[in-house]
Structure formats: C-alpha cells, structure tokens
Amino acid sequence: MKYLKWFNKDMVHAFTLLGHLGLAMVGNIFVCIGAYKLIEHFLIKSTLLFITFVLLGVASGFYSCYKLIMKK
C-alpha cells in the first residue's frame, strides 16, 4: 500500500473543496443564464444583456468561491 501514502485526510479535503468550488462557480453562472432566459422570454432579446448576465454570474461565482475559501 505504498502508493496510498499520499492519499490522506488533507488530500480528501482539498479534492472536496475543489469540487465544491467548481459547483459553486458553475451554479452561479447557470442561475444568471436562467434569469436571462426568463427575461428574454417575457421582455426582450439582447446580446448585451446576455453578456451582462454571464459576467454577473462569473462575478458572483468568484465571490462565492472567495467566501468558501476564506471560511476557515
């Protein structure tokens, strides 16, 4: 079992944090795209509005990831 010496509790914590960060980032982007799709369906269709919502999703994703990392 020499090959499992590097696989310890800290490594598992790092992998779970990485997965959580990825889901938080992608989730925020998808929520903002969904909000854009609702606005597009009921009001107007605009490429500039889509880009704005994607950038808003990325910014909120980065902020969520920052809060998750700094939770310790």
The predicted-structure confidence for 2-50, as pLDDT tens digits, reads as follows: 666 667 777 788 888 889 899 999 999 999 999 999 999 899 888 999 9
Cβ-contact 25, 57 below 8 angstroms? no
- Looking at this protein, which amino acid is placed at residue 13? H
Q: Is residue 16 part of a domain?
A: no
Q: What is the per-residue DSSP string for 37-51?
A: HHHHHHT---HHHHH
Task: Spell 3-29 as b/e; 16+ CB within 10 A means b.
Answer: eeeeeeeeeeeeeeeeeebeebbeebb
Range of the domain at 39: 23-70
Q: Is residue 47 part of a domain?
A: yes
Question: What total of structural domains would you count in the chain?
Answer: 1
Q: Is residue 13 part of a domain?
A: no
Q: Is residue 9 part of a domain?
A: no
- CA distances in angstroms from 12 to 25, 38, 59, 69, listed in the order given: 20, 39, 27, 15
pTM for the whole structure = 0.76
Q: Is residue 48 part of a domain?
A: yes
